[in-house]
Structure formats: C-alpha cells, structure tokens
Amino acid sequence: MSNYRRYFIPGGTWFFTVNLLQRQNNNLLVHEINLLRETVKSVRKRYPFKIDAWVVLPEHMHAVWTLPENDTDFSTRWRLIKSGFSRALPKTEYRSEVRIAGNERGIWQRHFWEHAIRDETDFQRHFDYVHVNPLKHKLVSQVKDWPYSSFHRYVEGGIYPLNWCGEVDLEVHGDQLHACDYALLIAPTRAQITKK
C-alpha cells in the first residue's frame, strides 16, 4: 500500500484536484451540482474554510482553499464532502470486490491531489488554472460560459473581465498571443481578490 505524505501548514492556502472514480462519460458532479453545493455548505458550517476559487467539471473538480489560522486539516473536510455527497446518492454505481469488502462506495477516487500555495505568483497561477479549466477541457469556447465556477463571482467583483480567455487573439511583437495568455500576464493578486 502506498504511503501518502501530506504537507501541513496552519492557515495555509491549498490547490486541490478531486476526481470521480469513473472519469469516462461521467457527468455526475454537474448533474448533482445542487447536492454538491449543499454538502460543501454543510461541511463549511462545521469546519470553516475560505473558498478562493472552485470549478466543478463533469467528473472532477479543482479548488483553492485557505484554512483558518492554526488549522491544517483539509483531509477531514474533503472526506466529509466526498462521503456526504456519496451517502445522498442511490447505490447504483459499479463497485469492485475490494470496495464492497471495505463497505466503500464506487464514486470517488480514494485520494485527492493537493499542492501548498507557496507565494503570490503560485496563488495567481493556480487561481487562473481553476478558472480556465472548462476551456482547457473544451467544455466551452469561453470561460464565461461555464456555470459551475467561482469565475462569475470574480467577474461581479471586478477581478476578471467577462471576456477573460475569450476567443479574441492578440498580436504581441509579431507573435500570436491568445487572450487567455494576456490575461495571465495581468492576473489578479491575492490582495485584490481578498478585498472584493
């Protein structure tokens, strides 16, 4: 069995990727978006954390969270989100013998990927990565068209323009620069995001 080592920083900011077990032809997360939202809301009541950025795609999600001062326990929060979401669904998914023996559902991959945000540049890169992800996966032609993202909150707050990473190409010194590349050059700072 693998020995996963996690890095813990009290009050730290983290980037996460959380995947469904079945990644192919699965739209469970967007189909059950209201259940996911209610589950997150319930967990945040008991174990608060700040959502800096979040995007929910059909079969995985990315998030940037900041934990309360002196708190390092993001694992409990994810365990409660995943288990709360799973318990509310009917048991219709395929489960391997190992999962059946362990009384586990077959909805989520067991682990998630986390990355400790090191500095302002790292925060900006991951903040933008979360929001551009639907475009990256070709789910939409413009970031603004994906409804399950904190992007819209930051448009309303004046952090992003509505057409951020739009379809317009820019020319810079004779090279083509996609609007999204330009947007990354003028990415918001964490101070700007926190103020809003």
Instruction: List, in order of start, the domains of the chain with CATH numbers.
Output: 7-117 (3.30.70.1290), 119-196 (3.30.70.1290)
Distance of CA 32 to the CA centre of its chain: 16
User: Minimal CA–CA distance to 142: which of 64, 56, 151?
Assistant: 151
Q: Report d(CA 120, CA 190) in Å as an integer.
A: 7
User: Minimal CA–CA distance to 54: which of 168, 193, 195?
Assistant: 193
Q: Catalytic residue, from 94, 148, 160, 182: name it.
A: 148
pLDDT in tens, 135-170: 999 999 999 999 999 999 999 999 999 999 875 443
pLDDT in tens, 83-124: 999 999 998 888 888 888 888 888 999 899 999 999 999 999
148 is catalytic: yes
Q: What is the pTM of this model?
A: 0.82
